[in-house]
Structure 1
Amino acid sequence: MRIPPWFLGSVLLLAGCATGSHSMPHAPHDTLQGQVDALMRDYDGHVPGASVLILRDGKPLLRRSYGMAELESGAASSPTTNYRLASVSKQFTAASILLLAEDGRLRLEDPVRRWLPTLPDAADKVTIRHLLTHTAGLIDYEDVMDPASTVQVHDADVLRLLESQDRAYFAPGSDYRYSNSGYALLSLIVERASGQHYAQFLHDRIFQPLGMDHTVAYESGISEVAHRAYGYTFDQGRWLRTDQSTTSAVLGDGGIYSSIDDLARWDAALYDQRLLRSRSLQEAFTPATHTDDPTVEYGYGWRITGETLWHSGETIGFRNVIVRYPQRHLTVVVLTNRNDPEPYGLAKQIAGLALGI
């Protein structure tokens, strides 16, 4: 594993909080760690937990975990715990498309039917850029799945479901509607343009080059998740394991597992050209469309609010968020293996504490 020198130094500096809040007494509340501990108290103990990362100038101000990665075995959460990222995965799908555009394998203005010709006529004017920005108007695959089926669908199944839907919510480019369908199709385009299985492309072109050695687009029976967190839902006074649903095997819209340690490496790559050229990064981070929230615009796999670039991820048993303040070189990541609450507001509070230092 290739680990940057700053990362090792910071790990030593923060050794006392590397394994979780239950491993040491809480710090005084006038310190950043104490303040974050207070905000995260509901995640501490024998409950589904969380991992929190604050990066400033590429170095961790705080790298801390709480609670349990798996209640049944008593496995504690740690900074190496890998959570299902859900829609935080979309930034990796978008980056894959941009890498292939840089390779000259595709263009963002390509009609989607050039790559996926079995899509119906209603998709005729949809481009790759429309898929990236949720402006394609495609039907949500979750709404046309068989509600009685207990079999997990995969990205290729999303295409098959959409093949029967010769209709759209609106003309491409005329409106915004958040679309998991679009990002599932993007993963298939990555496969066809690259000649590689999508999970392998992610490994070879993003995860391995960045040293994200334990990040994986998880496929049951094919890959494994190291230090895996399992998802839970609080129901009738107790935590129930709710780790997978019928849509959890779709990779392009949400199937990546990662940790705060690996996401630190991802964040670092978004400041320079070690992965993508500066022009590609600028495109990804530039508002391409308004959304249904007047405070939020959307780029390529990133929401944009004021000075922040961010994305949340919600799926059965997991709630996650990454919030970046690129002009201030500050990033906050909160990963949790429980169904509630959404951690975006929490991450903003944590960022406020860090910005006040």
Structure 2
Amino acid sequence: MINIKRPPFALLVLLGLATVSIVVAAGDPPGSEALQKVLDERLSTDGAGGAMLVAREGKILFSRGYGLADREGKAAATPDTRFRIGSVTKQFTAAAILHLAEQGCLSIEDPLSKYFPSYPGGEKITLRQLLNHTSGLHSYTEQEGFAEKVGKPIKPADLIAWFQNAPPDFPPGEQFRYSNSGYFLLGEIVAKVSGQSFGDYLDHTFFGPLGMHDTGLWLNATPPANAAKGYSFDGKEFKPAPEWDMSWAGGAGELYSTTSDLWRWTEALQGGKVLDAGSLKAARSEFTVPKKETQVLRYGMGLFHTEIEWMPAIGHTGGLPGYLSSVMWLPDSQVTLVVLSNAMPPRPGSSPDELLALAARSFLQGEIAAHAPKVDAAILPAIYPSYAGRYQYPGGVQNITVEQGKIFAQLGEQPRFEILPCGPDAFFYPSVAARIVFEHDPKTHAVISLAHTQNGVTFKAPKLGDEPASVTLGNEVLDAFTGKYQYGPQAVLTVTRRENQLYAKLTGQPEFPIFPKSDHEFFWKAVPASVEFVRGGDGAVEKAIHHQGGATLNAPRQK
């Protein structure tokens, strides 16, 4: 998901804001040394880097950079390094709309058609629905051809014309589904209403008054000074990430910033210095809909609710090729956590989610313990076998197994974890802040699915049948299937053999073993997918047919 003012009413706009100054705690507060030690052990000095900030009650407790902002130039990442922040931009876009509403310049109940009269179905979509992702607008970043187009600059009107005729995902207000199209349109509405560019409005209304001098719209033609380059970790090494032209991001994700600027923003926003009390409440409030997606984010307006090590948090994350970001506010402890990174995909162990958890554990151990679930001794192991089985997760298959009176969860090829009971049908992971609730058929009472909650996201995982039986094939037969298969313009499935086992690796993803269920069909245990190898007239394998989630993909074998 990607993340993104000399107004005629400038004086009114500026009166509501106050500059936030940096106050650093004297000496190294408790937790700093432990956190730095963990970061030194986990993060390399020669890989892509990032910056982290931890603040509490207006004081910065920890602010460090790590790794390299520019690997080719050997420039270290520091707290002053500027990073693209992707969808973290959305809270600025939402705040701009809400601020304009406070000034009487628009209403969030206005229809989209008021600002874009020719937009299909715009008379039935409100700005409120754009803000909380219930508009039904299909996200343009998921449209066919986006990846091929995004490297070249585009004008906002041309981008809107490109995506506006995409069929909607559902009728407005019926469901929640994250849509970058909605936020791109909101950024353009800010420009239409204020009479200036989206970037100028943010600068005059928010960035200047708050002292956020290292934040702005990323322009590829004139990138900001002291900016991090973006990289992707391919499982072995860092490589330059695909370059997006950020004109494609707009109000959905075009901003760059630093950790200290984002701290200033969070302190001001959550402290009521950006929006009035009613607007801030609206931005924070989770919106409910009649129907929910399989995967649901507890979203408000440019902000979502989550948990960090069981601690309630509110904020936003961002992801672009080469960049990951997370800005979180922990209301119970008045803590701000910011992590910015210039790697996506990142090296394992260095994602913002993982680093935020490390920061929380370093500074908030006692408070985490108070919020963590407790083992429910009334739940007896005799019930565990009823939960055993395979469950369809978004990224693979979760195996629930029972051994010697204990219950375990293992997702794909990841490590196996014991889960502990915390209530009827409810379990939690003691090693990560995640919980599972098993769900029953109301008639048969058999377990049919589970609901998994982690990082503020809840999704349902239906229970699957038994995996296919595997057959044994000789090495000569297996060797006939090795090679490279073209899955897409930039995606190749590489099939190799080691001893009597085939392995398959898709570009940018880990390698997984695949298992034969016939003399030419194989399946993954890590994900509910299979591949069928097809021979040509000469008997040689000429293509692979991939089956997953009801979809079929033909992948020719590379010569």
Q: TM-score, normalised by structure 1?
A: 0.86
Amino acid at match of 2:282: E
Counterpart residue type for residue 126 of structure 2: T
Deviations 1:166-185 (A, max 9, x none): x3110111001100111101
Cα separation, 2, equivalents of 1:201 and 1:101: 14
Q: Does 1:322 align with 2:350?
A: no
- Residue 349 (structure 1) aligned to one of 336, 341, 358: 358
* Separation in structure 2 between the aligned mates of residue 174 and residue 295 of structure 1, nearest angstrom: 13
Is 1:105 aligned to 2:105, yes or no?
A: yes
What corresponds to 2:345 in structure 1? 340
Matched-pair contact (CA < 8 Å) for 2:20–2:268: no
Mapped partners of 1:314, 1:344: distance in 2 = 12
Offset at 1:118? 2.3
User: Are positions 1:10 and 2:9 aligned together?
Assistant: no
Paired letter, 1:334: V
Q: CA deviation at 1:328?
A: 1.5
Is the 8 Å Cα contact of residues 154 and 250 (structure 1) preserved in structure 2? no
Query: What whole-Å deviation, never above 9, does each CA across 1:252-296 have from its counterpart, x for those lacking one?
Result: 111110001111210110233332112211110111137647774
Q: What amino acid maps onto 2:241 in structure 1? A: T
Shift of 1:125: 0.6
RMSD of equivalent CA atoms? 2.5
* 1:76-122 Cα distance to aligned partner (Å, 9 max, x none): 111111110011111111111111111111100000110111211x3
Match of 1:304 in 2: 305
**How many positions carry a matched residue from both structures?**
337
1:145, CA displacement in angstroms? 3.9
**Structure 2 partner of 1:181:** 181
Distance in 2 separating the partners of 1:189 and 1:344: 32
Q: Distance in 1 between matches of 2:127 and 2:330?
A: 27
Corresponding residue for residue 389 of structure 2? none
Whole-angstrom distance in 2 between the partners of 1:147 and 1:69: 25
Change (3 A) 1:314 1:41: farther
Distance 1:139 1:45, change over 3 A: same
- Change in 2 beyond 3 A, CA 1:265/1:293: farther
Structure with more of its chain in helix, by fraction:
1
CA distance in 1 between counterparts of 2:197 and 2:333 reads 37
Counterpart Cα distance in 1 of 2:246 and 2:224: 18
Deviation at 1:11, TM superposition (A): 7.4
- Distance in 2 separating the partners of 1:352 and 1:36: 12
Match of 2:265 in 1: 266
Pair 164,249 (structure 1): closer, same or farther in 2 beyond 3 Å: closer
Are the aligned partners of 1:202 and 1:217 in contact in 2 as well (CA < 8 Å)? no
Partner of 1:225: 224
CA distance in 1, matches of 2:271, 2:82: 25
| Secondary structure, counterpart of 2:64 in structure 1 | strand
Secondary structure of 2:243's match? coil
The SS at the match of 1:173 is coil
Pair 117,13 (structure 1): closer, same or farther in 2 beyond 3 Å: farther
User: If each structure's strand is expressed as a fraction of its own residues, which one has the higher value?
Assistant: 2
Deviations for 1:182-209, whole angstroms, at most 9, x for unmatched residues? 1101001001111110011111111111
Residue 42 of structure 1 deviates from its aligned partner by 3.9
Letter in 1 for 2:34: G
2:213 alignment counterpart = 213
SS in 2 for 1:263: helix
CA contact (8 A) 1:312 1:344 kept: no
The CA distance in 1 between the partners of 2:129 and 2:108, in whole Å, is: 9
Which residue number in structure 1 is paired with residue 395 of structure 2?
A: none
Structure 1 308/220 Cα, relative in aligned 2: closer, same or farther at 3 Å?
A: same
Native 8 Å contact 1:158 1:181 kept in 2? no
Q: Please say if residues 272 and 278 of structure 1, whose CA atoms lie closer than 8 Å, have aligned partners that are also in contact.
A: no
Higher-Rg member (1/2): 2
For 1:24, the equivalent position in structure 2 comes to none
TM-score of the pair, normalised by structure 2 = 0.56
1:285–1:66 distance in 2 versus 1, CA, 3 Å: same
Question: Relative to structure 2, which stretch is displaced further, 248-257 or 127-136?
Answer: 248-257
> Which structure carries more relative contact order (alpha carbon 8 Å, separation 6+)?
1
- Report Cα offsets for 1:225-251 as digits up to 9, x if no partner: 132011101236332111622566422
Check the 8 A contact 1:43/1:66 in 2, yes or no: yes
- Judged with a 3 Å threshold, the aligned counterparts in structure 2 of structure 1 residues 336 and 127 are, in CA distance, closer, same or farther, namely same
Structure 1 gaps, min length 5: 15-26
2:147 and 2:27 mapped to 1: Cα distance? 51
Alpha-carbon spacing, 1:294–1:57, altered in 2? closer, same or farther (3 Å): farther
Residues 96, 190 of structure 2: 8 Å contact kept: yes
In structure 2, how many angstroms separate the alpha carbons of the residues matched to 1:327 and 1:208?
A: 29
> Does the CA-based 8 Å contact 2:133-2:176 persist in structure 1?
yes
Distance 2:147 2:81 in 1: 32
Q: CA deviation at 1:34?
A: 2.8
Question: What are the ranges of 5 or more consecutive residues in structure 2 without an aligned counterpart?
Answer: 1-17, 367-559
User: Is the CA contact 1:158–1:184 (under 8 Å) kept in the aligned structure 2?
Assistant: no
1:195 matched to 2:204? The reply is no
Partner of 1:17: none
Does the 8 Å CA contact 1:109/1:128 hold for their aligned counterparts?
yes
- SS of the aligned residue for 1:169 comes to coil
